[in-house]
Structure 1
Amino acid sequence: MPGHPRDYFVVLPDSAAGAAVAGQLPPGTGLSPGTGLPAGAGLSLSARLRPGTGGTPVVAHASGRPWVIARPLVREVSHLRRGDDALVLIGPGRVPEAVLAGLLEGARDRAGLERRLARLPGLHHVIARLSGETWIRGTASGLRRIYHARHPEAGTIASDRPAVLARLTGAPLDDGALALRMLDFLPHPLSRRVVWRGVYETGAGYGLALPVAAPGTAAVPGPTEHRWWEPPPAELSLDEGARRLGDAVAASVRAHIGGLDRISCELSGGLDSTSLTFAARATGPAELALLTVAARDRYSEDETWARRAVEAAGKGEAAGRSTTSTASTALDHQVIPADDVPYFYAGLASCADELNDEPLPVAPGRARAHLLLSRAHATGSRYHLTGYGGDELFLGLPHAYQDLFHGNPFTAWSHLGGLRHQLGWPLLPTVRALLNRSTFPRWLAGAVTAEPQPVARTPLLSWGVRQSLRPWFTDHANTLITAEFRAAAEHAEPIDPWRGRHVDIDAVRMGARHFQAMEDIGMTIGLPVAAPFYDDRVLEATLAVRLPERISPWRYKPLLVEAMRGVVPDTLLARTTKDHMSADEHQGLREHAPELAALWTGSRLAERGLVDSRRLLRLAAEPFSPVLVEHSISSTVAGETWLRTAEDAWPAPRTRTTSPTSPTPPI
């Protein structure tokens, strides 16, 4: 079935209605119709089946009814029961039973369990039953998320895929949430607005508690959210933080690929991918395939740096403690010629192969990602690593200097001076932005505007970046979007009281959401894809470093550089440049104008009254229009392709809303 979510789990209540819901799961799970359990399985099944075997792991309630049903095509389900308590971890690899026992035993409540879970790489979905309560949470980075909805018979059900819940509850699409997704960047908490009505996302850093019915009653209390993660205080020196970060990156890489004989890495030549390449090599695989996409821009430096990295790896440089294990690793470097690489907006129809949790603005680059992962899969790779997340974590956003200014104004102003001259910020606007004390709700209420995007020389020192309404949005869409921002601002609280930390964490979480598209393409191909930088332990190690040492206008990603010393050769850590591919996007608008025109012919977004399809058709015929230079169209394209995929995936009610509904649940 096109657009089917290929990897998911569902958490069900302990009731006959909950067991009945299991039999309604989307096709392909291997469940016998009407039973809620795999064909031939008994009600007491607590399976631990490996992904790819065609089975569906089911973990039962103490009653024998299904509790957790998973379809882990590329992930592992680890489970342990001790009396009435139980723990399920869904992540990149099998967690040994002894480790599970150490986590579960002695954990009397969710707080005790979370203290123990801090020992593991932060990559797992966690589902636990403690003292009769079910506790479900994803990751603080937002890489793994939790959604919940109320089923009319079974009550609250939860999943990591909102589309599954929408299917089970018959939830219609929400025009307000769809309109929001036509913007390039949705700030917290609007990023949590699910595109189906009645389906809710639990905030990153929060978990979902599902209580049981009180003794002698049949009523089950509703779900509640509880915070389990707080950003660490920024108190470590650069040296201390670098050691902690290096350990976290190594542990995350091992959790994904440790023990595998054939793996692959995207080696762009940048610092992030180079760091992960050498970290992967340190695990000692028999074969390591490295893939580099050549750039059309003759001034690009990525391929040159990638070849230097391969040469250094071949010589065994900077192998550190793993010199013996890496000496036997066979390296296979493949450079994909630029002429083989599709432009952006190629193959838009192929977006129907995956149903992402939401429209993602990276969709126009799907054909490029599919090419890279297909080449990696052809090498025989069993796992593919990417450097996604490195920019959000290690570059440091200018907003952070607001935080530094409060504690150390002289250092902040010195750093800002260097940054201001690099970015061309005028003096007086920079001072005004630095002294601005707007609250987060006030900023959020005005964070969307009909004015053009801020120019490059606009100081960025607030709670985020204002978004611009596009000229092709309808009045209906504009009304929905502005109303959503204002409604969210009424009760919004920042992720962190400090602006810089708020923006840093929000940027990481947005990047993690976007990475889902890459994971889903990998599942289409049959290749697991990982971004170890989105590990919670990596995020924590980064935020724990004192701000003026973590970011600097005079050093490129200083924390990552120091963390990788002894792993990556110093000659490669010296790179201070970064290539961009904006030319490929603009050229893609011209090369694929016919596909874009076909997209706007019979536009589903236009049918819902959200875009002006006639104007979009004119823009498709004018790919170098000043309108497209000033306003990105990628998120609108993503919304259109996603909507077609969602409608084709399975029949669902279609209703049209005219006002913002299904607000983000209060925390």
Structure 2
Amino acid sequence: MQGAVAEIAAGASSTGHAVAADCSGGMDSTSLAMLLAQCRTARAEDLGHAAVAVTVHPAGTTAGGDLDYARAAVAYARTGLAGLARTVEHLLCPLDDRHLPYGRIGELVPATDEPAPSTVAIARFDAELALLAGRGVGDLVTGDGGDTLLGPQPGYLPDLAATRTLHSQALLLRHALGWARLRRTAVWPLLAGARAAAARGEPGEAARTRTAMRVVARTARADAQITEQLHGITLHNPFTDASVVEAALAVPGPLRAAPGDYKPVLRQAMAGLLPETVTARRTKGDFTPDQYRGLRTHLQALTGLVDGELAARGLIDPAHYRALLTRAAAGAPGIGFHQLNPVLATEVWLRALHQRPAAARWTTTDEDPPPAGSTNSRWEVF
């Protein structure tokens, strides 16, 4: 696992210019930042640039949460890991109300192959990219996909239910009890659901994770197009690489995603690179409050997007979706951002496609001789 991730980090680090990694203080991105610093150690004289570990944080906040964990990781690299002191630079990216979710989505999002996952957070993403570009960074490594691949989830329970051995059935009961305690729910629905899925012969947890990672990897390409178009930065997502995915999935689900054991595969793979304060972390930054603030701040602009490309195609009911946005901004229960964000991202994407300069190809009329190799008989713009 470490070798697969390190190989991708080394590739990003070998471009000859400055390279950065997100460093949120969580295991995914922070591991990558430390690996980049390690890659720079051997070639620091040739490259002349330190690896930049960038941490976004609320403006005015100087301590607490992600900041403390990120600082602990960088301090550990400089003092606890021999040779890394001069190859890692910690860069802070303060964000304020100008960078709330949903801000400037109609202004900043360029045309991409498909709607980008970063669309609703484009103001924040652009601020980070602009800061890095100003420091000469040409490559950015992120931990995107790490939660999907390595995060704790009970999707392996049907696999245990399908294996009719005493050991697997005992493990099923023990892990189901663990998940029930974590979720503060009864254990019987988990057990019944696992056994029903096994009886239906549904794909196993590894197959479902591969499918999910294909989606993450494909949509990440749209984010990569954004970084390239806005600031000329190449985006790298090691956790979506096939070699990393297969290395992770080689570990059985009960060992990879057990209840109460947060990302054990990554923790063991990166042993020695991260301080204990980071590997023992059991919390995760939550941007839900920012999403609500952004939704309320930009509600008028967002409701104005509703009567657009999707409505013209009959794909959404503008009145219904406008009411949904308004209720969500008011904090009404039962409305998730997963109901809002894909629609907004698709609307913004369609508008960006239509606003870009048209690509054109030459064809000829029936009266003119066609160019060599052309089989078309008219002028087309698309």
Structure 1 counterpart SS, 2:55: strand
Question: Is the Cα–Cα contact under 8 Å of residues 109 and 226 in structure 2 kept in the other structure?
Answer: no
Mapped pair 1:346 → 2:103 = yes
Structure 2 counterpart SS, 1:293: strand
Q: What displacement does 1:584 show?
A: 0.8
Question: Is the Cα–Cα contact under 8 Å of residues 12 and 19 in structure 2 kept in the other structure?
Answer: no
Corresponding residue for residue 379 of structure 2? none
What is the correspondence of 1:226-625 to structure 2 with a 5 Å cutoff?
Answer: 245-258=1-14, 260-284=16-40, 285=44, 286-295=49-58, 301-315=65-79, 317-318=80-81, 323-324=82-83, 326-329=84-87, 331-339=88-96, 342-353=99-110, 355-407=111-163, 408-437=168-197, 439=200, 497-498=203-204, 500-524=205-229, 525-600=231-306, 602-622=307-327, 623-624=329-330
Shift in CA distance, 332/314, structure 1 to aligned 2, threshold 3 Å = same
Q: What displacement does 1:589 show?
A: 0.9
Q: Deviations over 1:175-221 (max 9, x none)?
A: xxxxxxxxxxxxxxxxxxxxxxxxxxxxxxxxxxxxxxxxxxxxxxx
Which amino acid letter does the alignment assign opposite residue 294 of structure 2?
G
TM-score (norm 2): 0.82
Aligned length: 343
Structure 2 counterpart SS, 1:556: coil
What is the correspondence of 1:173-184 to structure 2 with a 5 Å cutoff?
Answer: none
Identical columns (%): 29
Work out the CA distance in 1 between the residues paired with 2:59 and 2:179: 30
Q: What displacement does 1:614 show?
A: 2.7
Shift in CA distance, 432/636, structure 1 to aligned 2, threshold 3 Å = same
Question: Is the Cα–Cα contact under 8 Å of residues 415 and 552 in structure 1 kept in the other structure?
Answer: yes
Structure 2 counterpart SS, 1:336: strand
Q: What displacement does 1:347 show?
A: 0.4
Corresponding residue for residue 647 of structure 1? 354
Shift in CA distance, 297/337, structure 1 to aligned 2, threshold 3 Å = closer
Work out the CA distance in 2 between the residues paired with 1:398 and 1:313: 34
Question: Is the Cα–Cα contact under 8 Å of residues 54 and 91 in structure 2 kept in the other structure?
Answer: yes
Work out the CA distance in 2 between the residues paired with 1:248 and 1:621: 46
Q: What displacement does 1:255 show?
A: 1.7
Work out the CA distance in 2 between the residues paired with 1:432 and 1:605: 40
Q: What displacement does 1:351 show?
A: 4.6
Work out the CA distance in 1 between the residues paired with 2:333 and 2:273: 46
Shift in CA distance, 301/266, structure 1 to aligned 2, threshold 3 Å = same
TM-score (norm 1): 0.48
Shift in CA distance, 630/396, structure 1 to aligned 2, threshold 3 Å = closer
Aligned-residue Cα RMSD (Å) equals: 2.5
- Consecutive unaligned residues of structure 1, counting only runs of 5 or more, are 1-244, 441-462, 464-496, 653-667
Structure 2 counterpart SS, 1:640: helix
Work out the CA distance in 2 between the residues paired with 1:537 and 1:583: 36
Which amino acid letter does the alignment assign opposite residue 299 of structure 2?
A
Q: Deviations over 1:80-111 (max 9, x none)?
A: xxxxxxxxxxxxxxxxxxxxxxxxxxxxxxxx
Q: Deviations over 1:233-292 (max 9, x none)?
A: xxxxxxxxxxxx011111111122136352111111111111001100001143222211
Work out the CA distance in 2 between the residues paired with 1:573 and 1:373: 27
Question: Is the Cα–Cα contact under 8 Å of residues 594 and 620 in structure 1 kept in the other structure?
Answer: no
Work out the CA distance in 1 between the residues paired with 2:11 and 2:94: 32
Q: What displacement does 1:296 show?
A: 8.0
Shift in CA distance, 270/633, structure 1 to aligned 2, threshold 3 Å = same
Question: Is the Cα–Cα contact under 8 Å of residues 346 and 364 in structure 1 kept in the other structure?
Answer: yes
Corresponding residue for residue 368 of structure 2? none
Shift in CA distance, 574/352, structure 1 to aligned 2, threshold 3 Å = closer
Q: Which has the higher helix share?
A: 2
What is the correspondence of 1:42-191 to structure 2 with a 5 Å cutoff?
Answer: none
Q: What displacement does 1:618 show?
A: 4.2
Work out the CA distance in 2 between the residues paired with 1:597 and 1:300: 35
Q: What displacement does 1:585 show?
A: 0.8
Question: Is the Cα–Cα contact under 8 Å of residues 270 and 305 in structure 1 kept in the other structure?
Answer: yes
Shift in CA distance, 435/628, structure 1 to aligned 2, threshold 3 Å = closer
Which amino acid letter does the alignment assign opposite residue 586 of structure 1?
Y
Work out the CA distance in 1 between the residues paired with 2:151 and 2:60: 23
Structure 2 counterpart SS, 1:294: strand
Question: Is the Cα–Cα contact under 8 Å of residues 161 and 195 in structure 2 kept in the other structure?
Answer: no
Question: Is the Cα–Cα contact under 8 Å of residues 177 and 187 in structure 2 kept in the other structure?
Answer: no
Work out the CA distance in 2 between the residues paired with 1:579 and 1:586: 15
Corresponding residue for residue 20 of structure 1? none
Work out the CA distance in 2 between the residues paired with 1:528 and 1:313: 25
Work out the CA distance in 2 between the residues paired with 1:610 and 1:267: 39
Work out the CA distance in 1 between the residues paired with 2:77 and 2:100: 31
Structure 1 counterpart SS, 2:39: coil
Q: What displacement does 1:293 show?
A: 1.1
Work out the CA distance in 2 between the residues paired with 1:628 and 1:549: 34
Q: Deviations over 1:346-365 (max 9, x none)?
A: 10212542x22222454211
Shift in CA distance, 297/426, structure 1 to aligned 2, threshold 3 Å = farther
Q: What displacement does 1:606 show?
A: 0.8
Shift in CA distance, 628/415, structure 1 to aligned 2, threshold 3 Å = closer
Shift in CA distance, 617/310, structure 1 to aligned 2, threshold 3 Å = same
Structure 2 counterpart SS, 1:626: coil
Q: Which has the higher strand share?
A: 1
